[in-house]
Amino acid sequence: MNVSLWRNRDFMVLWSGRTLSEVGDAVSLLVIPLLAVTVLDASAVEVGVLSATRMVAYLFLSLPAGVWVDRMRKRRVMVVCHLARAGLVATVAVGAWTGWVTMIHLWIVALLSSVCTVLYETAHQSFLPAVVPGGQLLDANGKLATTYSVSRIAGYSAGGVVASALGVARTAGVDALAYLVNAVSLLFIRRSEQPPVGTRRPDFRRELAAGLSFVFRHPIMPRLVAASASLNLFSQMIFALAVLYLVRDLHLSEQTVGAVMALTTLGGITGGLLSARLARLVGTARIIWIAPLGLGWTVMLVPAAQPGWGPVAYTVGMAGMGALFAIYNAAAVSYRQGACPPELLGRMTASVRWVIFGVMPVGALAGGLLGSWLGVRPTLWIAAAGVWASGLWLYFSPLRWERDLPDGSPERDTPTPPAPEPARREQVPIDMAGKATGGGRRA
């Protein structure tokens, strides 16, 4: 019987450290765009480019990152990435304090930070199954999703208050300390991960192809990837224009912008707390397509917002999208982690993230360009409709006819003894997904 996650010391250390870094990250995500808009007078295109450079590494680094991470100790990768990000954010704080920060400086820091983010997130998702038993991955991912939202509330609220009191230039350095604390906390995890699988002659292309082959020959994952990519593409169009929209269209102050962005994360908290329970109630397969189609319509309130009552509509719409992402991601990520053999986790994660996160800088840049061409509000209407329609990828898929997804914990936690079947019966599984997962788990 699995011990409760609340009594899993290593998970609690991992969880608390990530919470601290997420708080600092939220401060940075608020303050740096505010710095660009209010101090450097950035245009919609410049803000879009800033948002895009923060994620552009997913396009060119995600795939090789999976191979590299599978060859290395995941915790070591995470520690190094946090230390590097702390140094990069510190340069923004120093530049803002001395008054020589520029948009080019912000773009460079965002680009280098995105490299660290890709490596860190790939390692983190691959490291979690070493700390949490397979049967508790859904619960663990739900708690991490809740942490993300709670951290956004704390970070946006603190960032807005401090920026209003001291100015955005003096607020930019909080993130660096949070990264340092998270890096140190990782060293207190006792559970040792499995050593990387060694090969006599590492073949980079073959290892890379193994991850891609697993994902795109799987009967469910291609549709799951398409839905996630659509959600990320259209949501990034909204996020890229969020601060610009709140300041220039809804005429909100810096402190109010921080408060509104903090309140929008309540949806993510609710979704994260309820994700495991809703999945059990509705079905772990059904919840993946019900979440975007059932909650995606609330995002339409964002472009409908007007000065005066607009902050309320914006908050409700973005909270709905936060709940959508928390519920959807907890189920989708848990399914991917459970369906994949441990030795392929890094490459599977990288292959999926190459697509679903690779579209994010495209969405951010598209939001900035369309915002300048069509206007911010029409662009937000297009993006909101796209968020809702993303669920159709899964509605019109084999997942629609399944209630629950298979639980991979038995195979992951304890090796299954060979069944006493004739040799010819071992030839029955014919799809690559079944073979890759040991022939026992099928999507």
pLDDT value at residue 195: 64
Specify if 127 maps to a domain.
yes
Domain assignment of residue 429, yes or no? no
DSSP letter at 201 equals S
* Distance of alpha carbon 237 from alpha carbon 362, whole angstroms: 9
Domain that holds residue 244: 7-184+207-408
Widest CA span of the chain, in angstroms? 75
Is the residue at 251 inside a domain? yes
pTM of the model: 0.61
- 364 domain-assigned: yes
What pLDDT score does 322 carry? 86
* CATH code of the domain covering residue 281: 1.20.1250.20
pLDDT value of position 439: 30
The helix/strand/coil state of 404 is coil
User: How far is it, in rounded angstroms, from Cα 187 to Cα 190?
Assistant: 8
How big is the CA angle at 436 (ends 433 and 438), to the nearest 5 degrees?
110
Nearest by Cα to 344 from 149, 135, 126, 171? 126
The two three-digit tokens of residue 196, written as one number? 């990387």
Q: Tens digit of pLDDT per residue, the chain (443 long)? A: 466 777 778 788 887 777 777 777 777 777 788 888 877 888 888 888 888 888 788 778 877 877 777 777 888 888 898 899 888 888 888 887 787 888 999 999 889 988 988 888 888 777 777 777 766 777 777 777 667 667 766 777 677 776 777 666 667 667 777 788 888 888 888 776 666 655 545 566 777 777 777 888 777 788 888 899 999 999 999 988 888 888 888 888 877 887 888 788 788 778 877 777 887 888 877 888 888 888 889 999 999 888 888 889 999 999 989 888 888 887 888 777 767 777 777 778 778 878 888 888 889 889 989 988 998 999 999 999 999 999 888 888 777 777 776 554 333 333 333 444 433 333 322 232 333 323 333 33
Six-digit token string for 309:
């009552």
* Count of domains observed in the chain: 1
For position 187, what pLDDT does the model report?
83
Is there a contact between 195 and 281 (Cβ–Cβ < 8 Å)?
Answer: no
pLDDT of res. 405: 62
Taking the C-alpha atoms of residue 119 and residue 73, their distance in angstroms, rounded to an integer, is: 12
Res 354: pLDDT = 80
User: What pLDDT sits at residue 384?
Assistant: 93
- The reported pLDDT for the residue numbered 386 is 93
Q: What confidence score (pLDDT) does residue 430 get?
A: 27
Q: Which two tokens stand for residue 112?
A: 């280098």
Grouping H, G, I as helix, E, B as strand and the rest as coil, residue 220 is coil
Within a domain: 193: no
Q: According to the model, what pLDDT value does residue 396 have?
A: 86
Angstrom distance (rounded) from CA 270 to CA 312: 18
- Residue at 211: amino acid letter: G
In a domain, 166, yes or no: yes
202 lies in some domain: no
pLDDT of residue 288: 83
| 247: in domain | yes
Residues 6+ apart with CB under 8 A from 414: none
DSSP type of residue 391: T
